[in-house]
Chains A and B, each alone.
Chain A
Amino acid sequence: MLARTADNLYWLSRYIERAEYVARILEATHRVATLPVGYAGSTNEWESALATAGCAAAFFAVYNDANEENVTEFLAFSTANSSSIRHCFEIARTNARAVRTALTMEMWDAINGAWLEIKGFGAGPRRRDEVARFLRLVQESSLRFDGSAYRTMLRNDAYWFSRLGVFMERADNTARILDVKYHLLLPALEHVGGPLDYFQWATMLRSVSALTAYHWVYRESLKPWLIADLLILNDQMPRSLASCYENLARNLDQIARAYGRQGPAQRQARAIRARLENSRMDEIFQSGLHEFINEFVADNNRLGATIARQYLM
């Protein structure tokens, strides 16, 4: 297939996945913002939302201070923020148009319909229920798109490249939340264990849609090392780094098999996957959680560049 088509499919999936992630962050932040100050902590949860979305620098170039109104505007609706949900959908739809024939009708409908609805949310101040409705819409649209892809696409390179986009973006997002919040998971803080921590941890899990999963997997109250385990090493958890890499490696293998040739992307993905498989949480804490995450982010970026070089240009 055309490299540009693969590139479009890959980024189309990445943007939808990113939009969903930003929507989850906003939803979780709105929730924690309704808590009394004693529970939510003294830190500004809106600043924290920006950092988790990776948009802090861009935001403070425009605004001086982060509050519910302007952070919501910036992350959800802004046309100036290239990672805003609206913008993600707009780019996703543009990409979809350019590869219209590589998509199934269901996928196109999902993305075109979502864009038309999202565009319907105009500018101006918004009520909380409106915002909530918007965030729901985004998450449902993402699920619909993902489901359409899963249920209707032929299992060929078009499908695998679109999957690669999903998992690259997902790994990137989970890594970012770990990078921003790693201090909450450090053993040194363990003894604090007050309600403050609980809500911070819960917010973090909600951002990656893993709060319920946590309880099913560990059947325990929230513990930082278990949270870290869930987000990094637990391959049952769809947004964990381990699970993302299992999928990346598998999809890259499918491509290699179909093309009868493998390259650096396959080797890099397998190496990262093996490292995640062979790591144990206590070792990671011992040699430094932050260092581990930093290294992962660098590896993940490198793989992204390799995939682009090998297939997308």
Chain B
Amino acid sequence: MANVMTASLGGAALFVKPPLSAPAAFDEMRGGDGAVRPAYAELASWLDGISPEGLLQRRREAELLFRRIGITFAVHGEAEAQERLIPFDVVPRILSGAEWGMLARGLEQRVRALNLFLKDVYSQREILRAGIVPEDLIFRNPLFRPEMNGQKVPHDLYVLIAGIDIVRVDAETFYVLEDNARTPSGVSYMLENREIMLRLFPDLFSRHRVAPVENYPDELLATLKSVAPASASRDPTVVLLTPGVFNSAYYEHSFLADKLGVELVEGRDLLVRDEVVFMRTTEGLKRVDVVYRRVDDDFLDPLAFRPDSLLGVPGLMSAYAAGNVTLANAVGTGIADDKAVYSYMPQILKFYLGEAPILHNVPTYCCRDVEDLAYVLDHLPELVVKEVHGSGGYGMMIGPKADRETLAAFRAKLERQPHGFIAQPTLALSTCPTCVEDGLAPRHVDLRPFVLMGRDRVRIVPGGLTRVALGPGSLVVNSSQGGGTKDTWVLDG
């Protein structure tokens, strides 16, 4: 995903970069008016006491530590070594306990709604019959999996692990930018970042009460065990299914398997017999109850999906259909994080929960709608246009930054294929002080908290992964396009 914002930098005295003339984005430390916000008080005074040189020194230490510790996670082929060295910023991003409390409630509400929506879309389809979500938006959507229709899923839970991307525009307003309901990644960075910060800045931690994140693997395991199928033994066997060492996220897979204490399996380690999944161990076949899979739907089972897949497990879907294994996440959850479905989230929430959303969507124009399309075509230079199925910041246009040709090209695309696009206003996203070559400067950030939906309860470790756009005024936080990460602190109280 990509975050988009009007180009702007805060003007606080601390920052050595001169402010640009664009309207100020909300700075999470200095607020709108330049006064340090309470959650950042200790950090600000600590930063005042440290020279730019001292800060850069810490950054170099962090890099060294990352190379050393990180390297133990990174199972570095050349490509992965690059992947691993996503820049890390040593200045933490801080949320107050109250802010987090609101976010957590909103996240839980949202993930509950996503699950109810998925259950409905794959069974009764009441929301379609009620005319709230258009039928063809679902049925013709490549992310909808007809194979899941009428299929019972253990405990009716589809999205067990969600990564919800959140952006902030002012002191009160957070928006959900995107739901990631398939195989959200990045949680290993959240955990590593905290480890590095604890080593580097014990002094800073001693001045705060920062809610811990290190229990995430425990919470994840508890979540996965809670959704084991009814036929599983009392202590269900969980595995993590990876596409293998050549996958760009392999290090995260092996890192998580290690932290969870579960086997990291590839498709060829598993087999299905009499609709039960087994793994091949040195002690013979061992039953598997829950598969935390990091393999895409298309490749999961060559007998159900792509027949040429070598990454999957033949017959897995029949074991799934028989209710003998839980897949986390379920197959077909992509329909819930589709960008066009996203625009219906407020109505979806209302339909299933009867509640108003705690976290709002970014106002979104759905170009499949004739009126919306007309508005979008009229206001193209002010809007951000995204391809419905695009990801990673590709297939999008940032109106205020686009040249005449790009605008014309997107206008043509929109007219030809309005179904394929949504549009959103450019937001003045919040910034956080960030360590750059010559000191501190505000950089735009987003937040990906990880929500775990178990049978028993919802678990969210406080914080998540803060991504930061490192270029001055840059709008894109994706690691594939030069974004970095920060540790995210949620303060107690």
Contact = CB atoms under 8 A, between A and B. Distances in A.
B426 interface: no
B242 to A, nearest CB: 10
Contact of B282 (A97, A112, A157): A157
Nearest to A258: B283
Interface string B52-79: 0000000000000000000010011100
B245 interface: yes
Interface in A63-120: 94, 97-98, 100-101, 105, 108, 112
A2 interface: yes
A100 B280 contact: no
A311 interface: yes
Contacts of A100: 75, 254
B492 interface: no
B282 A312 contact: yes
B280 A98 contact: no
A101 B258 contact: yes
Size bracket, chain A contacts = 20 to 34
A187 B367 CA distance: 92
Contacts of A112: 76
A97 B254 CA distance: 10
A1 interface: yes
A218 B47 CA distance: 73
A155 interface: no
Interface in A299-313: 311-313
Nearest to B72: A105
Contact of B269 (A4, A105, A311): A4
Nearest to A255: B282
B344 to A, nearest CB: 42
A6 interface: yes
A2 B245 contact: no
A2 B280 contact: yes
Given A100-B254, A101-B264, A6 B75 contact: no
A233 to B, nearest CB: 32
B179 interface: no
A97 B245 contact: yes
Contacts of A216: none
Contacts of A98: 244-245
B269 A2 contact: yes
A167 interface: no
A261 B263 CA distance: 22
Question: Which interface residue of A98, A261, A313 has the most chain B CB atoms within 10 A?
Answer: A98
Interface in B251-296: 254, 257-258, 263-266, 268-269, 279-283
Contact of A2 (B77, B254, B258, B279): B279
A6 B281 CA distance: 8
A161 interface: yes
B281 A2 contact: yes
A118 to B, nearest CB: 16
Contact of A97 (B75, B258, B263, B280): B75
Nearest to A105: B72
Nearest to A7: B282
A3 B72 contact: no
A309 B245 CA distance: 25
A108 B75 CA distance: 10
B370 to A, nearest CB: 53
Identify the 5 closest CB pairs spanning chains A and B, nearest first.
A3-B280, A311-B282, A101-B258, A6-B282, A100-B75
30 contacts: A1-B263, A1-B281, A2-B263, A2-B269, A2-B279, A2-B281, A2-B282, A3-B269, A3-B280, A3-B282, A4-B265, A4-B266, A4-B268, A5-B263, A6-B282, A94-B245, A97-B77, A97-B245, A100-B75, A100-B254, A101-B254, A101-B257, A101-B258, A105-B72, A108-B72, A112-B76, A157-B282, A259-B283, A311-B282, A313-B280
Given A3-B281, A98-B244, A101-B258, 10 more contacts: A2-B263, A2-B265, A2-B281, A3-B280, A5-B263, A94-B245, A97-B77, A100-B254, A112-B76, A157-B282
